[in-house]
Copies of this chain bind each other. A is one copy, B any other.
């Protein structure tokens, strides 16, 4: 008998757009939750108009961005400003486990669809929202974007070359961190519901999520009085732990403890005397004199490729690896075996590759099963399940309700 999916008992009404919310519900859907993506009639999720694009089988420009993040979800269109649209949403919410939205706080309340209203019709409902700054606090009504969260959450201030500018992570990291925290909050609320019998509100702010990801930055500052500087690829607590230039790229070498450092000096660099060199005898010394150490390591690397250097270092038990770009990652045998990218057939785009799921549940594995929905593709099925006749459904479409 086939194993069930990990979250197959959960139905999610997904009002989210763009990335933070859709990334969260993508993970839930990959793990088997029944996710109904609810979009505005006609226009749909903003990312349907985001690059990269491909000319689809109908000759139209279609977004791969949307296709990637919204696989495994059903598609329903609904105009929540219309009375009938609200009614349909309420009827769906009666039977759902989770509503997820990433409107600016207050929008759902003004529509009469806020948590206080919805919990009256379904006390077991979990209402999860992710926004730039959360649903309370002085900035809660500010517009939120990934880059603002990276900026105001403190990640940009600590990222970048020594002496260089504050630097944004090269992906929408604030959105990803927000989506991950939201997924944890939703699943924790599912567990809490098994204790209390009731749902609750889950609130995640992108800014909070980025702050959490700066881990010990605050205690470092509070203890030293010094704002931690940007320092390229180095780490304040460990050395050597950096990128080192070799013949064809950059190799990371990470010696987390004294034993590894001794191995590096003795077996790799052939300079056992470094272990007792007063500059390098302990971690504080190595942190202070890491420029000197770098020269010695890069001297050894000068005639070696990333692959050669990594192989030699690993053979001696020293943590090492190349800096890979996405072309190298896609070709990597480890990444392939981990199924971090998955090919699938899309009805209008043809064969596409989408991201895999990084959460490996070994007995109930996440999977990519169905392509991202066409706008409103499941309207008929979902409304028929609520008792609407095809004639009524056609009328709702004509009137712009769906």
Alpha-carbon distance between A363 and B314 when the two chains are bound, in angstroms = 49
Contact: A327 with B227, CB < 8 Å? yes
* Smallest CB gap from A324: residue in B: B152
A326 contacts the other chain (CB 8 A) = yes
Contact: B359 with A64, CB < 8 Å? no
In the assembled complex, how far is the CB of residue A169 from the closest CB belonging to chain B, in whole angstroms? 5
Alpha-carbon distance between A190 and B252 when the two chains are bound, in angstroms = 37
| B contact residues around A157 at 8 Å (CB) | 170, 323-326
Contact: B222 with A330, CB < 8 Å? yes
Contact: A170 with B219, CB < 8 Å? no
Contact: B151 with A52, CB < 8 Å? no
Contacts A167-B233, A208-B360 known; list 5 others, CB within 8 Å.
Answer: A10-B191, A159-B169, A159-B170, A167-B167, A167-B232
A112 contacts the other chain (CB 8 A) = no
In the assembled complex, how far is the CB of residue A29 from the closest CB belonging to chain B, in whole angstroms? 12
Given A148-B319, A320-B148, A159 contacting B167 (CB threshold 8 A)? yes
A15 contacts the other chain (CB 8 A) = no
Contact: A355 with B212, CB < 8 Å? yes
Contact: B151 with A200, CB < 8 Å? no
A344 contacts the other chain (CB 8 A) = no
User: So how many copies of this chain end up in the complex?
Assistant: 2
Contact: A154 with B329, CB < 8 Å? yes
A107 contacts the other chain (CB 8 A) = no
Alpha-carbon distance between A224 and B65 when the two chains are bound, in angstroms = 13
The proximity string for A residues 205-238 relative to B, scoring 1 for CB distances below 8 Å and 0 otherwise, is 1011101111111111111100110111111110
**Which one of B233, B319, B360 lies within 8 Å of A144 (CB-CB)?**
B319
Contact: A218 with B355, CB < 8 Å? yes
A99 contacts the other chain (CB 8 A) = no
In the assembled complex, how far is the CB of residue A367 from the closest CB belonging to chain B, in whole angstroms? 13
| B contact residues around A314 at 8 Å (CB) | 142-143
Interface pick from A172-180, A268-276, A290-298, A386-394: A172-180
| B contact residues around A134 at 8 Å (CB) | 338, 360
A37 contacts the other chain (CB 8 A) = no
In the assembled complex, how far is the CB of residue A311 from the closest CB belonging to chain B, in whole angstroms? 11
* Smallest CB gap from A364: residue in B: B192
A50 contacts the other chain (CB 8 A) = yes
A51 contacts the other chain (CB 8 A) = yes
Contact: B143 with A319, CB < 8 Å? yes
Contact: B188 with A223, CB < 8 Å? no
Interface pick from A1-9, A76-84, A86-94, A374-382: A1-9
Alpha-carbon distance between A385 and B309 when the two chains are bound, in angstroms = 51
Contact: A361 with B185, CB < 8 Å? yes
**Which one of B208, B213, B323, B359 lies within 8 Å of A176 (CB-CB)?**
B213
| B contact residues around A357 at 8 Å (CB) | 212
A156 contacts the other chain (CB 8 A) = yes
5 shortest A-B CB distances, which residue pairs?
A158-B170, A187-B187, A200-B363, A6-B192, A143-B319
